[in-house]
Chains A and B, each alone.
Chain A
Amino acid sequence: MEEKFAHPELRKPEHLVYKTTDLMVDCPLSYCPGCGHGVVHRMLMEVLEEKEIASKTIGVNPVGCSVLAYDFMNIDMLGAAHGRAPAVATAIKRLWPDHYVFTYQGDGDLAAIGTAETIHACNRGENFTIIFINNGIYGMTGGQMAPTTLPGMRTSTSPYGRDIEIMGHPLKITELIAQLPGTYYVTRQSVQTPSAVRKTKKALRKAFDLQDQKKGISFVEVVSNCNSGWKMTPVQSNIWMEENMFPVYPLGDIKVDGELVTRS
């Protein structure tokens, strides 16, 4: 692509300003155009490349839209059963303590079917990184209600909007696990603008740096869009996310160096 389309002058190495990391497999992603998953993948792989730890990293991906993430990330990976990635990663990190281990999970995976595995891995203070893609919906199965679905939000299983009287409240699992002594770094980020992407990448870098210290779970939530499931254009979905998701899931660090961040 680059070779074919770029002006010969631009192809000179001294003019190179951006190149996709080799840790992203050169293939079409399975995600809908406009979806945040792919951006997070790239940031994650860039962090591994910059830290030069790709050969010592083992990833665990979930069941959800990112079920094929192992095809896109050019590192050793395991596809876990729905919700069980933290249990899978627990064993891996304990058996390979010098390796870097991460899970990559959606909200249904992490905060519904896998709630027990999430809480207990966090509470044991396992030394891996959890990357949590919160799009407030079950993207993969066609847009059903997730534990993180907002009140009033329409999904295929809450077609008249989530009624909290009947369907319960959105689960702020990130605030919940931040209370556990086993978590050391807990942050909530997003990827809808270049500056948000940069912040997410910084958070991911910090999360992996912390694995060296073996002080417990580093947890990076990314509030993300699901333009298909939300039935919006990518641009609309990002605006809707900023206006509706961020008030319920405010961005920023929740726990740093094992201490809860007090918000003004």
Chain B
Amino acid sequence: MGELRLMKGNEAVAEAAIRAGCDGYFGYPITPQSEVMEYLMVERPYETSGMVVLQAESEVAAINMLYGGAGTGKMVMTSSSSPGVSLMQEGISYLAGAELPALIVNIVRGGPGLGTIQPSQADYFQAVKGGGHGDYHMIVYAPASVQEMADFVQIGFDVAFKYRTPVMILSDGAIGQMMEKVYLADPVARLTDEEVVARCPWASNGRPMSRGHNIITSLDLDPAGQERLNLVLQEKYREIEETEVRFEMIDCEDAEYIFVAFGLSARICQKAMQLARNKGIKVGLFRPITVFPFPKNEIRELGLKVKGMLVVEMNAGQMIEDVQLSVGCNIPIKHYGRFGGIIPTPDEVLKALEEKIIGG
């Protein structure tokens, strides 16, 4: 049956986590995402569902708490914003290397350095290309609404356990802070310890004498063994690329030009599309919902039908590299970006389309 509520994106993440049967949240305060933990501390799910909520001493500690919880088969998550997520990179790499399921929410703010607390999409490379050391990927969802912030919590946990991989929700300060109507599914009960043991036979949660001991690690000192682990990971990423791609196309059927944008930028492009269509410019929107796996094939096919693409991002040009790699160089592909916490206006976006693509 579920329930309709008016909530901030950050609050929706927290509420969705409780309802998804999450076992543990570990985090450290940072603007613009502190509402996630604040909401959980007000709701006190540890008194109802038994979900653990803990304010860690740092993001480094928080991500390693995820490693501990995930290594025992529990559903664990954290949230942070850019500088905090930078601190988590070693831990995320360990999660990937040890093949552990976990959910990490990044409510991106402008950088580099301490940057600004205003929204940004400048952590795309970090989220999509690895971020930490070694050859690994996370599955990365880019929500464009408060509804998707909530939805990707349950979906994120599902795929994290399906593939035994860390999953990221890559959002930004605007979607984290803005209030929208959101439909919340009915709560599901947390798994019992017995159910956790049955679901995760690989996990280290106490060795019954009926099996050998389980070891959670990313270490293999033998290069051949480490290469094997890498090949297992690469195979997993190929499978993810085949099965987990999500995207949205709006008004692309008759489009001559395409905006490519994820998250908040896609919302702005939708408005720019209306303005363009009012002027008779046939423009559509391609919105990658998963940015890893990137919807390569779909955007390549679209590239065969249109005259040009404008990639709109709140960064200096990051996703555009994936668009160019997918589409090739037969049509002009240009970037329009604002940085440092500035959100582009629909008028600016339309002007950029006219100048860089149509007139260019």
Q: Which A residues form the contact surface with B (CB < 8 A)?
A: 54-58, 60, 67-68, 70-71, 73-81, 84, 87-92, 94-96, 99, 116-117, 120
CA distance A67 to B219 in the complex (A): 9
Given A81-B94, A116-B61, do A92 and B206 touch, yes or no (CB 8 Å)? no
Specify which chain B residues have a CB less than 8 angstroms from the CB of A116 in the assembled complex: 57-58, 60-61
Given A95-B23, A95-B24, A116-B57, do A77 and B67 touch, yes or no (CB 8 Å)? no
- Min Cβ gap B104→A in Å is 14
- Min Cβ gap A23→B in Å is 9
CA distance A77 to B72 in the complex (A): 9
CA distance A121 to B357 in the complex (A): 56
Q: Are A120 and B215 neighbours in the complex by a CB distance under 8 Å?
A: no
Q: Is B205 an interface residue (CB 8 A)?
A: yes
Given A56-B206, A120-B57, A120-B61, do A79 and B72 touch, yes or no (CB 8 Å)? no
- Min Cβ gap A50→B in Å is 16
Interface residues of B in 47-96 (CB under 8 A from A): 52, 54, 56-58, 60-62, 64-69, 71-72, 74, 76, 90-91, 94
Specify which chain B residues have a CB less than 8 angstroms from the CB of A120 in the assembled complex: 56-57, 61
Interface residues of B in 203-240 (CB under 8 A from A): 203-209, 213-219
Contacts A79-B218, A84-B60, A88-B64 known; 20 new A-B pairs at CB < 8 A: A56-B206, A67-B219, A70-B217, A75-B207, A76-B204, A76-B214, A78-B71, A78-B72, A78-B216, A81-B90, A87-B61, A91-B26, A91-B54, A91-B68, A91-B76, A92-B72, A96-B72, A96-B205, A99-B205, A116-B58
Given A60-B68, A88-B67, A117-B64, do A78 and B54 touch, yes or no (CB 8 Å)? no
Q: Is B193 an interface residue (CB 8 A)?
A: yes
Q: Which of B69, B91, B207 contacts A55 (CB 8 A)?
A: B207
Q: Which of B67, B74, B205, B213 contacts A80 (CB 8 A)?
A: B67
Q: Can you list 22 contacts pairing A with B, beta carbon distance less than 8 Å?
A: A58-B205, A58-B206, A74-B207, A76-B206, A77-B214, A79-B98, A79-B217, A79-B219, A81-B90, A84-B61, A84-B67, A88-B67, A89-B68, A90-B54, A91-B65, A92-B68, A92-B72, A94-B24, A95-B23, A95-B69, A96-B72, A120-B61
Q: Are A117 and B217 neighbours in the complex by a CB distance under 8 Å?
A: no
Specify which chain A residues have a CB less than 8 angstroms from the CB of B26 in the assembled complex: 91
- Min Cβ gap B263→A in Å is 29
Q: Which of A58, A70, A75, A81 contacts B64 (CB 8 A)?
A: A81
State the total of A-B contacts with C-beta under 8 angstroms. 123
Q: Are A94 and B52 neighbours in the complex by a CB distance under 8 Å?
A: yes
Specify which chain A residues have a CB less than 8 angstroms from the CB of B218 in the assembled complex: 79
Specify which chain B residues have a CB less than 8 angstroms from the CB of A87 in the assembled complex: 56, 60-62, 64-65, 68
Given A81-B94, A117-B57, do A91 and B66 touch, yes or no (CB 8 Å)? yes
Specify which chain B residues have a CB less than 8 angstroms from the CB of A80 in the assembled complex: 64, 67-68
Q: Are B206 and A91 neighbours in the complex by a CB distance under 8 Å?
A: no
CA distance A91 to B216 in the complex (A): 15
Closest residue of chain A to B204, judged by CB?
A76
Closest residue of chain A to B23, judged by CB?
A95
Given A55-B207, A117-B64, do A92 and B213 touch, yes or no (CB 8 Å)? no
User: Which of A84, A89, A91 has its CB near the most chain B CB atoms (within 10 A)?
Assistant: A91
Q: Which 10 A-B pairs have the closest CB atoms?
A: A88-B68, A91-B68, A76-B204, A84-B64, A91-B65, A79-B217, A87-B64, A120-B57, A87-B61, A78-B216
Q: Are A117 and B207 neighbours in the complex by a CB distance under 8 Å?
A: no
Specify which chain B residues have a CB less than 8 angstroms from the CB of A73 in the assembled complex: 213
CA distance A161 to B114 in the complex (A): 39
CA distance A116 to B209 in the complex (A): 36
Q: Which of A68, A71, A74, A77 contacts B216 (CB 8 A)?
A: A77
Specify which chain B residues have a CB less than 8 angstroms from the CB of A84 in the assembled complex: 60-61, 64, 67, 91
- Min Cβ gap A214→B in Å is 15
CA distance A92 to B72 in the complex (A): 7
Specify which chain B residues have a CB less than 8 angstroms from the CB of A76 in the assembled complex: 203-207, 213-215
- Min Cβ gap B90→A in Å is 6
- Min Cβ gap B171→A in Å is 24
- Min Cβ gap B199→A in Å is 14
Specify which chain B residues have a CB less than 8 angstroms from the CB of A68 in the assembled complex: 219
CA distance A74 to B60 in the complex (A): 29
